[in-house]
Structure 1
Amino acid sequence: MLVSRIIRHRDAVRLGPELGLGLNHISHFHAGYSKTLRHSAAAEPKKSSGTTVGWRRHRRFPKYLRDSPSGTFALRLRSRTTPLTFRAWQRFDEAARSRSLRLPIVTLQMMIRKDEAQMKTSLSQSLCDDGQWRTRLNSLAFKGISEGDIQHWVWIMEGKDADERIERFVSVDRPKPIFLLFQLLRHDQRFQKGSSLQSIYDYVYRHHVRSKASPPDAALPFGAVRRTLDPGLNMTRWNFATLFRLLVYHYLRVWPSALPALAKLVCLYVEITQQVAKNGRKAYSDACSIFNYALVMFQRKSPVQPVFQMRYNWRAQKIMLAMSTTLPRPLLINRSGFRAIRRVMLALGKSPAERRVALRMMRTWPPYRRDWDGLDEKREPADDFSRSVKAGVLMHEAGYSEMEHDRALSVLGGVLPGEAPTVQTRSLSPRTWTGRQANLNVFSTWAARVKATRDINEAWHEFQTSPTEGLQPSVQVYTEMFKKLVAIPVNQLPDPAHALLPGDAREVFPVNDATLTTFEKQRLRPPTVEGLYSQMLHNGTRPVGDCLSVLIQHAPSMQAAMRYLHDSPLDKAAISALQLPHVPSADSSTISRHRRRDAAAGPTLEVLQQIPLGNLGAYIFLMCRFQPRLAAEPARLGKMRRAGLIHHAINICAQRLRPTLDDGQTYKAPWHTIMQTLAQPKLLVSAENTQDRRFHDREALGLALRVFGLVKMGGGVDVVVLDGLCKATQKCLRWTDMGLTTDGGGDLQPLLRMAHATIVSAFSEMAGGSPASQHHPATRHNFTAGSLQSYMQTLGYMGDVDGMVQAVGWILRMWEDETVLEDAKDVLNGQYSTIGRVLVMFRAFAETQVTGSVLEQLERQMGALQERKYCTWRWPTQEDADAFVRWHRQEHNAAFWSRVRPGV
């Protein structure tokens, strides 16, 4: 009866216009129908099961939670190391009261019950009793989940750090719930081992990608049990997208060179999904969605050397594009995918074709192309487009209109179609404004025009050319102009014989003003940094963000940097904490005294957290830049006071970048600056003995070891930190009897032994530590030929020939890995000649200290690589080693070379 009334109501609404019934008739009909429906519902008898008919809904509490169960689970894990808030305790109490059978809730309650068994809290009253708990576990047992499985999941999450939790997670080769996988890959998890990411990669490949291609397990029953235990059913498209985003996040921070491995994983997932899909149209739509999502994820930059690491982003995108072409129906690229490709291409070095175009640019502005020969005359304007601009043309041909942000990408790409050309500039993507602030993208285009220039006059011309009449430049435009004014000038014009071309780096080229009069030169000359800064303040723009960092980093004095900071909207108490405290010179003589003084009266973490990390890194760079150097005459009072700058920088970083904080585990730029400063020769690090170079070299090595330990406790060491420690050690070796194990260095020997053990251990950990894989590189660290040269030279002067043999063997093995030492394998790159000097250095140090069989084995290994792998490296001859000794022989190492290679 009730159903028939509903049908009549639906037909009346549908046929009302056809029958001539107006809206009033239909509304009266609807009112009468609603009244009848209420009476009918009231007259319907209720079922004996207790359920009601009609529109009544079940109560959401206590089965459902107000907050996300996974979020509460993550909050419980973070509360073990952070202070507990009342709101967090409320969420734990709600989770403990819940009777839901969702796996995050049950696992969290198991963890709470385990904690309550050790120490009772008020949460014990919220948990269910043992009988109810057993009943709920029996319900989960129907789905194939036992109490032992839940206890195993709790044991996994109780690991002391992220690496140990991953090790426990993969210790048993059995599918785990997806929520547990997401918990292990949260953004606040910090991995220090590449093997952890590789293990989780293999797990995802086996259980969530490859398993989709295999037939369903016949041993699994149908229904809820199969969905719970079959990982192929659990990994939906949205779950895979979330998992992929988390993996990209961690790979960019730990192992950027392994991004192509993630691309291969996505390609396999897309191919298998289309093969096993029953609905072809939906499978194609899902494949396009994952494909474009992967392209967008691969545009993200690494926090360390983002421009250099972008080559791996491009390789990952190329793998995705190549996969699309092999499918029966190529996947479609949307607007976001095209933009992601363009942004990655902007950060790549110029291709040979792009270099030819850059060499043919006129010295006038705009830089139109010159025709050198008949082939140039036959070229069309589109032939000179960079790869990024060509991708923009393809986006336009695909039907996507050009927006303001696309114009900024085209300007940096070298050509804005329909307008005058610019200079192709290697750069990260300009800032993109969205939502209500989308109109600010016009400033991104303006800033890109200032950046895509060759000299300061061209930059000043673009700075003064407003896109709209009356529009004042923003802080984003001022930042690019400041960068041009402080850039290092290049004393040569673009030449094919030189590797540096306009747009390759931040350096500016000479101004083309040979034909201009003196008056015209003065008229076109841009203002100084101070003049432009005064103009910016006069227009009501204050220095913030990247603009403030540029000004601080290139400030002419510490007082000028403090003025920039006070003009910014930063907290004044935090700015005062950055100032070097005034202490008597007698209290700044040794490392221990500096440590005691700064520990007693140093800036607190709460105050330093008011300073953005970029501004903090710029101020650390400024302090290291003004660190004094040793001189022949005694140091004056101002120079003695500035000797404490490096100590103040270390203590600020030790407070702000603590190993227990996320910033301390991810942001290493200030530590890199400090280590590179400590490695510089003739560094004055104390107010005592200002003419004793040996004393200051020893103090610098002690500080370097301290910084090395702090960095290792945080996010782990890297190549820059290891290279700085090697060079700081070499400074002290000049005061010892090199190559001997006796105590010829006096008080330096304990420090040198500690440095030697630290260096060898760090290199062994960085060079190895990851199992062999067909997709991942042999190491996650970006070793360079220069860093290997410093490491080998340090071991050679310390007499560790065995360590040198192991290092050379590792270098030769890395020829087969295309990612490791990539630039050192390029004949046109400067690192190629450096790696040759490393091999010559090894023979000069080790030829008389190792057996001939060892050298013969390494030489045979080199010959095998030349035959099988087309290795272009060359094994050095004895004449090369003798020439190396004659070139590097000095007064402080003459006795060492006389022992190592007598007669040279």
Structure 2
Amino acid sequence: MQHGALTPLGRQSRSVLLSIRSKRPPYQSHSVPSSASSRLRCLRLGVRYYEGVAAALAETLPVWPEEAQALSDEPANEEHVKASSSSGAPARTRTRHDHITEALKCTPHRHALPATGSATKLDLSHVNLRQRLIPGTSSTTIIEGPKDPQSSPDTRSNLSLLSLLAKYIRHVDGAPSQTPPLFSQPEEDYITSKGYSLEDIRVWAGFITAGPSYQAATRLLDRITSSHHRSPPLHLLLYFLRRPYLSASALRQLITAAHHLVEQHTSVDQARPLPENAVMILFVRLVRHAREVWPPVLDDIAALLIRALQAVQINHQKPSHDQRSRLIYIYNTAMHLLSLPTAAQPFKDAAIQEAAIVRVLRSMSEYQPPLLIDRQGYRAVVRVQIAQSKTSSEQEWAELQALSWPPWKQERTAVDADITAEDHGRSKASHTLQRMREAGYTPDTWAAVAQLYSGWDTDGTPTVQSRALMGSSMVPYRTEHSIWAARIATTRTGQEAWAAYLAYEDTGLGPDAQVNFAIVRKLSEEDKRGRPQDPSLTTKRDTSRRARLFPGDQREVAPLPPSVHLYTYTRTSVPSVDTLFRQLIDRGVYIDPYTLALAIENAASLQHGIWYLRVGSRGEDIKRALLLGDPMPQPSAMPSPLFSAFIRLLCRYPNVNLSKVMADQSELSKLSSIQPMLLQGHELNPLHPLVHAIELLSLFRPTSPVPWVNILRAMSSTPAGEDPAGMFTRAKCSMVALSFVNHILSLMRETHVDINEVQLLHICQAVENMAVACWRLTKYKVKSALEQEPHLGSFKLDTIRDAYQAIEHASDTSKYVKNLLTELVGGVDRHAALATDTASSQNFALPRLLYCPSPVLLHAHIRALGWLGDYNGLLDLTRSMVAHQHKLGEQRKRDRNAEDLMSLSIQALRVFLERRWLPVKSSGDSAEQASDAARQNDVLTRLETPAPVEIVEEVERLVNSVDDWPSWPDEEEMAKYCRNERFRELEKMYMA
């Protein structure tokens, strides 16, 4: 047997899993047919959207009648449906009306509608998945709207708080008062019998219909923590968590509210804690939003789940056999949800996810006997381990791998004999997969793919251990194509990847989207490696202390080995992406949106990218929307990766007019006839790629941060030009770019998209570009007395005036940047300490900061404030860094080259405080200029004058007070830092 005999732990796990049976009503005694069982397994593994899966998994738990009433207080209309085809027995179906969604659709509050999944995805949020395919069992159907939209809840069989709330929203629309009586006397009596009042209904309506998520979350938290009002029903919080997007600050409030609700139900004076299914649904929806906007809180959400489940077990004393089965199911599902990739920085957040999973595993081990880990739990651990960087032993193995293929270990010295495949070649994920096999779980395609990423092929040959993001279900890994896609992804060079692709073609498996995506990614990186890089997009840094990257740690491909004897044989040469794309199109292969987006994003030219879109996309409405800006009947039908890739394409080629790449004259005339966008009263050219990109962002308002990052990155690029004429162009472009940044941020706020670290990084770079360019132009104007030259045109005169005004209002720009950092980082909310008021809440404390800035962001922020001359801002920033030094230290452990970047940040503090790139007497020389330029000299003097000695000494004291930080930089380090081209440009102007 390939993986050995079944161990005692495996036999115990198998016996427990086989004993789990579906809960059935007492009047049913038939068993589950094998066909229904297989269909049930396919259904569980086939739902791709993880929240739908998780909600379904939560609802597989049995719901007692009183618990169901406590969860939603929602009546269900029971109807008889057609008999089951397998048994002939009539099945009983409960139809559950989604009253609040139905009411919101009749009001202007469309923003409050819950997220909608795919049209082909089953809505399993109120379905017992274990019973769904069992003939004769009861099921539940969601009805989003009644036949008569104006029907009143009292015309139905029963009343509920949610139906009455929906009636209030529909008829009153959240207004503070309503002259005629809205509710009948029986309805008012029902509300009173539940312990609430009409005022509570009004407050709930305002909470549901509120626009910004933070305001609504604050209203709910105020109501829950108020000692004068009864806490709202849990279903209100669950419904609000169905919103498609929540800000991090709103999520902080909602997690605190959830904690208070759990504590209220688990206190000693409560008769019954929250039901398990309610706790699980709450956990599912909190995790979804945390993965999107605030990953550091995943560990706290896991603690909240454990606290609620432990309270249930305290009331039930020792768990029964069925209760243990449910707990095993809940805990393993929780690990699965916690392990799914986060939205912004999935690889960096893997350490946070690992800590949350460890907390769950520790809780499982506290039961007697410990709860078992099922296949889903093992996969969660493997998923997180594959996303993490290599350990020291794994790095030693990677360093000894041969440059030929397969990469067997190649000993260089006698000491290398101690580095074995078992101790060093087997990664953490590989060992976990081995433990899963020992527990009795047969290897499947998912495990084979994970084994490839962990460093070993299915035939026992080594591969390149690679960091990867494993999917949320088995659907992408159920075929042989998935294994070949992983084989292509775990190569080092374009030649090795192409050899794997040719071997895949020889198998005759046929085209596959995963394989196409894997080879296009490798070939795209190979094309970029041989393509000259734009110097304006690169930054010269000292690479002497940079952390070494091993194969598999980065997306970029490695160059070919130094000797041809180490090459991998391929019957054809490695093609470019363009060549492969044309071959696939000629063969009639369907290009999926992800592969098409990858080709468009990395196109060698704007014309190539547009051609990829024309021939690769099968949706004419999608092509017209992207190329011409035509509105789509359903904007949600626009594939998110395709939209982000096209925005990235436009931003990569800002100097190529669209008229040069639009071959169709009708399309060109249509695009030219678009009403031009106005920026500060000036009409913009609709044929400019960046203007077109902003128009698309304004039209579709994406909630994904990727397209917003792309457009802000384009605004932070530095225009070329060292001569006086180029100096004017650079200053004008930098000021216009900053105006675009303000417009883009306003669009983001209207779309309720929070700013993230990468976006703020590019904003700081745009501010720095503006400050440097305007400083240079103002200095050049004062020295050359340009206002006396009659040949200057209106463009140069306007640019000089705008540059001076930009420098004059540097304090406003500095305040603008500091406010953005405060918005990103957040702070201690007035409700943040409420969770720790009681003794039972000692282990619950949310992070003080919404986001801990990385050293690269701190360095960019210091440079932006430094160029603007905001010395008090630098002092305040240093104080904040010292106050949160422990969080900054944890962040540096997750970032590569963090110590080097932190050293640069400390060096930048002293350089900008002391103005070390300027001559010593530069400020005095500036003050001696002619009287007609006195105002300009005052502005320059403010920028040129170093910080007061007291501020410099205080910053030095603060920096030296932290042991983990680099020491205060010396003269040599500052001289090395000032070798940057920007410092030299200004230094030349002062030395001339």
CA RMSD of aligned residues (A): 4.2
Report matched runs for 1:229-628 at 5 Å. Answer: 232-233=272-273, 235-281=274-320, 282-372=322-412, 376-377=416-417, 381-383=421-423, 384-416=425-457, 418-429=459-470, 432-434=473-475, 439=478, 441-466=479-504, 469-488=507-526, 499-512=548-561, 514-516=563-565, 523=571, 525-579=573-627, 602-606=629-633, 611-628=638-655
State the secondary structure of the residue aligned to 1:68. strand
State the secondary structure of the residue aligned to 2:801. coil
Sequence identity (%): 21
> Does the Cα contact within 8 Å between 1:701 and 1:729 map onto a contact in 2?
yes
Q: Deviations over 1:51-94 (max 9, x none)?
A: xxxxxxx9959xx998534x221342354336799985746434
One of 187, 207, 217 as aligned partner of 1:166: 217
Q: Deviations over 1:117-150 (max 9, x none)?
A: 99999xx9xxxx87x8223432443443344433
> Gapped runs of 5+ residues in structure 2?
1-28, 30-75, 80-91, 114-142, 531-543, 663-683, 783-799, 834-843, 917-943
Residue 42 of structure 1 is matched in structure 2 by none
> Does the Cα contact within 8 Å between 2:825 and 2:852 map onto a contact in 1?
no
Residues 1:203 and 2:257 aligned together:
yes
Tell me: CA distance 1:362–1:735, structure 2 relative to 1, closer, same or farther (3 Å): closer
Letter in 2 for 1:873: P
> Does the Cα contact within 8 Å between 1:487 and 1:508 map onto a contact in 2?
yes
> Does the Cα contact within 8 Å between 1:553 and 1:622 map onto a contact in 2?
yes
Q: Deviations over 1:720-748 (max 9, x none)?
A: 2222222222222234348999x986223
CA–CA distance in structure 2, aligned partners of residues 103 and 503 of structure 1: 55
- Which structure has more relative contact order (CA 8 Å, sep 6+)? It is 2
One of 887, 901, 906 as aligned partner of 1:817: 887
One of 798, 819, 834 as aligned partner of 2:868: 798
Q: Deviations over 1:2-60 (max 9, x none)?
A: xxxxxxxxxxx9xxxxxxxxxxxxxxxxxxxxxxxxxxxxxxxxxxxxxxxxxxxx995
One of 181, 185, 200 as aligned partner of 2:237: 181
Residue 732 of structure 1 is matched in structure 2 by 770
Letter in 1 for 2:801: G
CA–CA distance in structure 1, aligned partners of residues 766 and 77 of structure 2: 68
> Does the Cα contact within 8 Å between 1:257 and 1:777 map onto a contact in 2?
yes
CA–CA distance in structure 2, aligned partners of residues 252 and 98 of structure 1: 39
One of 966, 976, 980 as aligned partner of 1:873: 966
Number of residue pairs the alignment of both structures matches: 768
Q: Deviations over 1:88-115 (max 9, x none)?
A: 5746434533352322112223334534
CA–CA distance in structure 2, aligned partners of residues 603 and 117 of structure 1: 37
Deviation at 1:162, TM superposition (A): 1.9
Tell me: CA distance 1:327–1:353, structure 2 relative to 1, closer, same or farther (3 Å): farther
CA–CA distance in structure 1, aligned partners of residues 508 and 280 of structure 2: 45
Deviation at 1:342, TM superposition (A): 1.2
CA–CA distance in structure 2, aligned partners of residues 561 and 852 of structure 1: 55
State the secondary structure of the residue aligned to 1:777. coil
One of 106, 110, 113 as aligned partner of 2:168: 110
> Does the Cα contact within 8 Å between 1:679 and 1:725 map onto a contact in 2?
yes
Tell me: CA distance 1:65–1:322, structure 2 relative to 1, closer, same or farther (3 Å): closer
Residues 1:712 and 2:749 aligned together:
yes
Residue 705 of structure 2 is matched in structure 1 by 668
State the secondary structure of the residue aligned to 2:582. helix
Letter in 1 for 2:914: A
Q: Deviations over 1:275-297 (max 9, x none)?
A: 44324225433432221121011
TM-score by length of 1: 0.76
Tell me: CA distance 1:83–1:258, structure 2 relative to 1, closer, same or farther (3 Å): closer
CA–CA distance in structure 2, aligned partners of residues 338 and 513 of structure 1: 41
Letter in 1 for 2:558: F
Tell me: CA distance 1:393–1:478, structure 2 relative to 1, closer, same or farther (3 Å): same
> Does the Cα contact within 8 Å between 2:168 and 2:201 map onto a contact in 1?
yes
Tell me: CA distance 1:78–1:879, structure 2 relative to 1, closer, same or farther (3 Å): farther
Deviation at 1:326, TM superposition (A): 4.6
CA–CA distance in structure 1, aligned partners of residues 766 and 575 of structure 2: 40
> Gapped runs of 5+ residues in structure 1?
1-12, 14-57, 218-225, 227-231, 582-601, 658-663, 899-904
CA–CA distance in structure 1, aligned partners of residues 969 and 727 of structure 2: 43
CA–CA distance in structure 2, aligned partners of residues 140 and 399 of structure 1: 54
Tell me: CA distance 1:757–1:438, structure 2 relative to 1, closer, same or farther (3 Å): closer
Out of 138-147 and 370-379, give the one that drifted further.
Answer: 370-379
CA–CA distance in structure 1, aligned partners of residues 466 and 504 of structure 2: 21
Residue 794 of structure 2 is matched in structure 1 by none
CA–CA distance in structure 2, aligned partners of residues 497 and 317 of structure 1: 31
One of 88, 96, 110 as aligned partner of 1:68: 96
CA–CA distance in structure 1, aligned partners of residues 878 and 177 of structure 2: 55
CA–CA distance in structure 2, aligned partners of residues 397 and 810 of structure 1: 50
CA–CA distance in structure 1, aligned partners of residues 529 and 211 of structure 2: 51
CA–CA distance in structure 2, aligned partners of residues 485 and 93 of structure 1: 58
> Does the Cα contact within 8 Å between 1:299 and 1:341 map onto a contact in 2?
yes
CA–CA distance in structure 1, aligned partners of residues 748 and 405 of structure 2: 47
Tell me: CA distance 1:746–1:418, structure 2 relative to 1, closer, same or farther (3 Å): same
Q: Deviations over 1:256-307 (max 9, x none)?
A: 1221222222333344443443242254334322211210111222222333
Deviation at 1:475, TM superposition (A): 2.6
Out of 537-546 and 138-147, give the one that drifted further.
Answer: 138-147
> Does the Cα contact within 8 Å between 2:453 and 2:490 map onto a contact in 1?
yes
Tell me: CA distance 1:367–1:277, structure 2 relative to 1, closer, same or farther (3 Å): same
CA–CA distance in structure 1, aligned partners of residues 596 and 522 of structure 2: 15
Out of 559-568 and 477-486, give the one that drifted further.
Answer: 559-568
Deviation at 1:364, TM superposition (A): 1.9
CA–CA distance in structure 2, aligned partners of residues 848 and 332 of structure 1: 67
Residue 660 of structure 1 is matched in structure 2 by none
> Does the Cα contact within 8 Å between 2:910 and 2:952 map onto a contact in 1?
no
Deviation at 1:508, TM superposition (A): 1.3
Report matched runs for 1:767-778 at 5 Å. Answer: 767-771=825-829, 775-778=845-848
Q: Deviations over 1:877-902 (max 9, x none)?
A: 5775566557677465349999xxxx
Q: Deviations over 1:538-566 (max 9, x none)?
A: 44312222110121122233333233223
Tell me: CA distance 1:827–1:572, structure 2 relative to 1, closer, same or farther (3 Å): closer
TM-score by length of 2: 0.69
Q: Deviations over 1:833-891 (max 9, x none)?
A: 3333344345435997555554554444445443xxxx243234577556655767746
Letter in 2 for 1:321: L
Letter in 2 for 1:698: M
Tell me: CA distance 1:863–1:270, structure 2 relative to 1, closer, same or farther (3 Å): farther
Residue 718 of structure 2 is matched in structure 1 by 681
Residue 733 of structure 2 is matched in structure 1 by 696
